[in-house]
């Protein structure tokens, strides 16, 4: 009997999503406008509880693009970005004709290293250019070193664009991720902790910026009876149908976080006495991780028979269980290899040893048993 696939992270509906979609049909707001959008934005604003303004968009990639525009990034400007991340964190820098400068991770949070960050800023300034923005990431839902990074950014007066795509529900000292940037973004792609099938949001500190985003995201139409444009616009709004899914998903967000964290606990106990395999866990008691994905580091010098991350990935694939190596650092990508990089080999080593494991909130006891058996077969 062939067993069904266990996914890394698949959509998990809460049950009320269709009611909001029905509402959109009943009122005929099958458009990038309607009450699902304003209510979804309101739900997110309430959840963040920092008097910030949320604008729903078509994706986090679009949100980062508009965020960089609001931060006035122009062709040939320099933008600093964490290297160990998904390409969507960095691609909007190139959309704008700006130059990405990549920075290494530190080993505790796997995110931006404050020392390498300062080195990158000083070296860029010494070459006659001050970076326009710093793109920070909370990888796999683990908060970066919030205070250290903010201190460096403030010292050089460079704004932070916080890529919180993976970290909805994570936090630091009781404050939610998505509120630490000068501008922040979330993703609601199908594989994220909640989904709108595809979508994103941008978080700003004032209403004027929200209005500017809404203007740019809806083709930058000037006030006129005809269509008139004095600025370059984009078609980046979220659909009222997708926002309906989002409203339903917001009702189960906290439950999803609890379940993702339970998956993390499951792996911690599974690998407790297994030499050479460590589960990525926040060391900082002030940090709260949603553990969007649980990842392990595999050290072949210590594992049984020198098993490495690729042996594990293939063995699990054989049991129809999806795993994925960590994000390949941007400075090692063919597309980005000629741009500056500051740091050592932290991100590179994490990439070589790291593997993300099935982490969805919809995994069952049966799924966990299959995962456990696959590892036992391999390691004992
Ligand atoms: C998923 C993701 C994005 C992109 O989100 P989309 O909504 O798919 O555009 C950006 N950055 C990070 C770190 C992500 O994980």
Which residues of the chain are under the pLDDT cut of 70?
1-2
Of 105, 90, 34, the residue nearest 348 (C-alpha): 105
| 28 contact partners, CB below 8 Å, separation of at least 6 | none
| Whether the Cβ atoms of residue 258 and residue 291 lie closer than 8 Å to each other | no
| Whether the Cβ atoms of residue 103 and residue 113 lie closer than 8 Å to each other | yes
Residue span of the structural domain in which 205 resides? 17-251
Query: 6 in a domain, yes or no?
Result: no
Q: 239 with 262, same domain? A: no
For the stretch 211-230, pLDDT in tens is 999 999 999 999 999 999 99
pLDDT at 2: 60
Four-residue CA torsion sign, 113, 116, 121, 124: negative
For the stretch 2-17, pLDDT in tens is 689 999 999 999 999 9
Q: How are the residues of the chain apportioned to helix, strand and coil, as percentages rounded to the nearest 5?
A: 40, 15, 45
- Give me ligand 1 centre to Cα 200, in Å: 8
| Whether the Cβ atoms of residue 291 and residue 265 lie closer than 8 Å to each other | no
pLDDT at 3: 82
Q: 211 with 170, same domain? A: yes
Q: 107: domain CATH number?
A: 3.40.640.10
Q: 132 with 245, same domain? A: yes
251, 271, 286 - which closes a domain? 251
Q: 111 with 47, same domain? A: yes
Q: 142 with 105, same domain? A: yes
Is 192 labeled as catalytic in the residue annotation? Answer: yes
Instruction: Copy the structure tokens of residue 341.
Output: 């990089």
From 111, 139, 189, mutation site for ligand 1 pocket: most ligand atoms within 8 A of C-beta = 189
Q: 266 with 243, same domain? A: no
pTM, to two decimals:
0.97
Half-sphere exposure of 374 (CA within 13 A, CB side): 24
214, 233, 251 - which closes a domain? 251
Q: 282: domain CATH number?
A: 3.90.1150.10
Q: What SS3 class is residue 114?
A: helix
Q: Of residues 132, 145, 176, 192, which has the active-site annotation?
A: 192
Query: 23 in a domain, yes or no?
Result: yes
Pocket flag, ligand 1, residue 77 (CB < 6 Å):
no
Pocket flag, ligand 1, residue 356 (CB < 6 Å):
no
User: Considering its fold, how many domains does the chain have in total?
Assistant: 2
Pocket flag, ligand 1, residue 166 (CB < 6 Å):
yes
Residue 224: Cβ within 10 Å count: 9
From 165, 246, 329, mutation site for ligand 1 pocket: most ligand atoms within 8 A of C-beta = 165
Q: 147 with 34, same domain? A: yes
Of 139, 114, 107, the residue nearest 278 (C-alpha): 107
């Amino acid at each position: 009997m062939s067993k069904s696939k266990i996914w890394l992270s698949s959509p998990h509906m809460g049950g009320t999503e269709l009611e909001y979609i029905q509402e959109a049909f009943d009122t005929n707001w099958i458009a990038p406008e309607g009450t699902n959008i304003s209510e979804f934005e309101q739900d997110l604003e309430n959840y963040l509880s920092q008097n910030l303004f949320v604008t729903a968009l078509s994706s986090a990639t679009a949100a980062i693009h508009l965020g960089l525009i609001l931060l006035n990034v122009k062709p040939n400007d320099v933008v600093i970005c964490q290297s160990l991340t998904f390409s969507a964190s960095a691609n909007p820098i190139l959309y704008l004709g700006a130059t990405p400068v990549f920075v290494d991770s530190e080993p505790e949070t796997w995110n931006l290293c404050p020392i390498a960050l300062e080195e990158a800023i000083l070296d860029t300034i010494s070459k006659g250019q001050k970076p326009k923005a710093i793109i920070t990431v909370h990888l796999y839902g683990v908060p970066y070193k919030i205070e250290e990074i903010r201190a460096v950014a403030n010292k050089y007066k460079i704004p932070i664009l916080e890529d919180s795509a993976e970290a909805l529900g994570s936090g630091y000292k009781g404050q939610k991720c998505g509120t630490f940037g000068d501008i922040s973004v979330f993703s609601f792609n199908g594989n994220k902790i909640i989904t709108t099938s595809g979508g994103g949001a941008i978080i700003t500190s004032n209403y004027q910026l929200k209005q500017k985003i809404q203007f740019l995201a809806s083709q930058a139409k000037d006030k006129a009876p005809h269509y008139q444009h004095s600025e370059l616009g984009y078609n980046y709004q979220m659909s009222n149908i997708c926002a309906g899914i989002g409203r339903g998903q917001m009702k189960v967000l906290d439950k999803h976080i609890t379940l993702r964290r339970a998956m993390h606990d499951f792996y911690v106990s599974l690998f407790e006495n297994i030499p050479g395999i460590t589960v990525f866990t926040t060391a900082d008691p002030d940090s709260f991780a949603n553990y969007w994905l649980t990842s392990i580091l595999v050290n072949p010098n210590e594992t049984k028979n020198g098993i490495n991350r690729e042996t594990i990935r293939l063995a699990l694939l054989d049991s129809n269980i999806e795993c994925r190596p960590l994000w390949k650092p941007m400075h090692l990508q063919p597309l980005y290899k000629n741009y500056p990089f500051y740091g050592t080999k932290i991100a590179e080593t994490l990439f070589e040893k790291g593997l993300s494991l099935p982490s969805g909130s919809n995994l069952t006891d049966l799924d966990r048993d299959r995962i456990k058996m696959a590892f036992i077969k391999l390691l004992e």
